[in-house]
Chains A and B, each alone.
Chain A
């Protein structure tokens, strides 16, 4: 278990100037993720979830407001190596082997590879890619690539973990499996996690609370607490309470 840091998003606004029209991607959004919590962001396309994540990662800067990761500015937090990230499509470098891809954050952060060798071996086993260390991404299936990306996001032992639709490109069956695996991995690390997703069931299964966003302008509509204890089992998906929450979130998505 690692030290944890919170994510604090305060009064963040971000607009993009398109052709003539200005799109308000985020309008005065505030959200606090306490250290060690698991928050899921859900919402229709264009509601600003990904923009929010990019701002928190330091890939984009807000017009107003600020984001703090463990009391630091996003880019500083990234440079100090306390954050981990996995994107929608694995975003592996096609010329690096699985192992080298997982070690990419170490290279960027100028850390010594040999010190992390054991950790990398452990991570590869954890995500079930043992034996594929030297394979190139092009030789793997979509699910395997995604698992390599998850392993990469964990290699620095991050205190804060950002997941941007990490299983968006997978089919429903694989997605369920990955959800169960992600929960297991997360329970080991307990990193403060922000998950952006389109899947209502995935959000409920994994998160402590689900933040429902609405679009035009991008804003937070409703925050729904998820009361289930961990570890959550696959049977959960068919419980009436689970369906009740699904309905509640779906209604919130419709703007009720």
Chain B
């Protein structure tokens, strides 16, 4: 409602109390149905001979294992909390800098895209060999927070009402006073919405680092340790506690946001780095692009230099080039890497396409049958905050270790955020636009064809941007934990062989692949949308 006071129009719709209570009831009902079904399936051992235990047996196992949990939960929460704090402080500071000095946003674009697109599992082994103790977990948790909060901050600040800025300026206020009295406060709802999504990301980051990181405590450690024992009820207990922690973190910031800002219902995840105006000078423009590509590599180099990690373990860009192209056994390394890539890439593309198609179909279904989706949406929203990837071991239990498990995991991690983004986009299609074809006698299918589908294109692209890194993450985790193929497995194997060059190579290649995919999506998106006179969705 922030803009209403500014425009001086009162558009505040009276909240329909009975309506919301009814919606809450419907959500509750859906959850109850879900649990009842689950209980029945579990009791009858319908899935993979008991790989999906009934909620009641999961709960009783949780009670038996209750002495184990506090230490593991504490370790995970500690790392996630520290990472959340550090990552978000950096993100807000960076967001303010990018919003106030757009040139810095252009320079940092390479770093921002890399951080957004990197599959956390790929850099977790690097962090583990370069840092020690809790540091890898904290860093991965912080990385999970950075992009979301940074882009939320930039969006919030740049969308500040121009008149609020004018008022401060008209009394001689400078840049910092404008930031203090107008922009920062007006960006707060957006920043809080970012923090809300960042919170479960931090938990997921910490758990992923625990997967590959040794150490005695942490839910990720517990999960990996229990995977081999084939005790589904315990795995489910761990997965559910991880989900609960992430969900609680999400809820905490939802309440804070509601308290502080009244209402801010942004639930979609930002998937684009801050937009910046192109420099008119070609030479400047080229320089900026070049610098933004070079900066991540420079940062990588400088970080290793500053930390003084031994060259045997820490590979600089030059050392990596040496490993892959100049060293005596570089041909063998290249072959291994390419073979793994050839296994991972098709799976990533297939999983992503399936997940997106499924999400798009269901989102379109939400236009045709709004009632079904209204009950399903809250469930989907909650699922979006789950560290789904942390549930991978459960899928392995249920689906075995064949290639199909890769597809299932990839579809499940790409589906929900894509669905939420697209359904939100479709719900933003103005009613008037839908009613024009209706007035000429069009049925729901024609409405879809002439209005909803064209209008939802920006959201389809936004969902694709969001899905790219998640798909690669899903595939690599499945390969690591289940199938023993592709890049994920190569990463895991190289850890065992202490093949540091290969660990770095896989990490860098998977980040590059993800960034490349992402850039391709952006280029296609710009082409398609600009031809249709549309702007990209957040």
Contact = CB atoms under 8 A, between A and B. Distances in A.
Contacts of B12: 138
A146 B185 contact: no
Interface string A51-91: 00000011100000000000000011011110101010111
A93 B170 contact: no
A92 B170 contact: no
Contacts of B450: none
B142 to A, nearest CB: 29
A58 B1 contact: no
A92 B172 contact: no
Contacts of A75: 172
A89 B172 contact: no
Interface stretch (A100-108, A204-212, A231-239): A100-108
B172 A109 contact: yes
Interface in B139-174: 161, 163-164, 166-173
B8 A87 contact: no
Nearest to A138: B5
A58 B8 contact: no
Interface residues of B toward A: which range?
A: 20 to 34
A139 to B, nearest CB: 9
B350 to A, nearest CB: 44
Contacts of A57: 166, 169-170
A58 B170 contact: yes
Contacts of A145: 5, 8
A93 B177 contact: no
B171 A138 contact: no
A222 B506 CA distance: 75
A226 interface: no
A137 B5 CA distance: 6
Contacts of A89: 6-8, 163
Nearest to A106: B171
A169 interface: yes
Contacts of B64: none
Interface in A110-153: 136-138, 141-142, 145-146
Contacts of B166: 57, 59, 87, 91
Interface in A162-216: 162, 169
B173 A146 contact: no
Contacts of A85: 167, 170-171
B6 A78 contact: no
B9 interface: yes
A141 B8 CA distance: 8
Contacts of B172: 58, 75-76, 78-81, 108-109
A94 interface: yes
Nearest to A136: B5
Given A78-B169, A95-B186, A169-B9, 12 more contacts: A57-B169, A58-B169, A59-B166, A79-B172, A85-B167, A87-B166, A91-B161, A104-B181, A108-B168, A142-B8, A145-B5, A146-B8
The 3 closest A-B pairs by CB, nearest first: A79-B172, A94-B5, A137-B5
Interface of A: 57-59, 75-76, 78-81, 83, 85, 87, 89-95, 104-105, 107-109, 136-138, 141-142, 145-146, 156, 162, 169
18 contacts: A59-B169, A78-B170, A78-B171, A81-B171, A85-B167, A87-B166, A90-B5, A91-B161, A93-B164, A94-B6, A95-B185, A95-B188, A104-B167, A137-B5, A141-B10, A145-B8, A146-B8, A162-B170
